[in-house]
Amino acid sequence: MNIALYTAYFGAHEPLNPDVFGEAMGKLACTVFTDDPTLAVPDGATRVVLPRLGLDPARASRRPKLRPELYFEESDWAIYLDNNCRLLADPVELVERLVERGAPAISVMPHPKRAGIYEEIDECLARKKDSRARLLEQRRAYRALGVPERSGLFACNFIVYNLAAPQLAAFGSLWFEHVLAYSRRDQISLPVVARLMDLSPFPLDQLGLGALCEWPVFHDDERRRFAKKRSGAPALFGRLFRR
């Protein structure tokens, strides 16, 4: 089995995680998709620069995240890891377990805190995770589709794709369309797209492999310090008070 590991680093809102691929680095093909042509990636990983094509960094990063079949034509499986993760599982054992379960098209972990998309939309509204107008329109649209309260919810920081699955390309295309039309928070649209495509994501917690990845590697305070350092705010603050 040819397994590709990959992450997406667009917009530099947090440090690049050199340990995202864990001990699989150098053993399997590891790819970092980015919008930064100067980004230095760890030894053992390949940098692939993708233009944003007019999208904000978050939505631009969703193209490789949700459409792996466009980039890994010679691979059988692709495993996406958020930059804020560190892989703990053995990818080969993970895929072998999925093959034993019938090689599902897409496999993800259930969300650890919430059970439905409307709860997630409320959380995103409260924490200002995206445009209020987009989130409210998404809620209206999904209620009109008859999506139930307990629709299921997944944590989309770790996704396993079976690239040979016949529905995968259409599934990823529709998922990306929802991210473009509504919120960039793709965990909201995943259960709805799965419902529309009649394709059930396989819950990775049923494999009995324990923790598949460490998350988060960077906590909010670290991400804020990184953002301030990149913006030059601390340096400007210091210059003002040294005068």
pLDDT given at position 227: 80
**pLDDT reading at 239 higher than 50:** no
Question: What is the pairing mode between strands 77-81 and 154-162?
Answer: antiparallel
List, for residues 217-236, the tens digit of each pLDDT value: 998 788 888 888 887 754 44
List, for residues 154-203, the tens digit of each pLDDT value: 999 999 999 999 999 999 999 999 999 999 999 999 999 999 999 999 99
Whether the CB-CB separation of 31 and 48 falls below 8 Å is answered with yes
List, for residues 122-159, the tens digit of each pLDDT value: 999 999 999 999 999 999 999 999 999 998 999 999 99
Directed axis angle between helix 186-197 and helix 57-66, to 10°? 40
C-alpha to C-alpha distance for 86 and 60, rounded to whole angstroms = 22
Domain residue spans in the chain?
A: 3-218
Strand partners, 109: 155
pTM of the model: 0.93
C-alpha to C-alpha distance for 117 and 145, rounded to whole angstroms = 13
Q: Say which CATH topology domain 3-218 has.
A: Spore Coat Polysaccharide Biosynthesis Protein SpsA; Chain A (3.90.550)
Angle value at C-alpha 97, between 78 and 111, nearest 5 degrees = 70
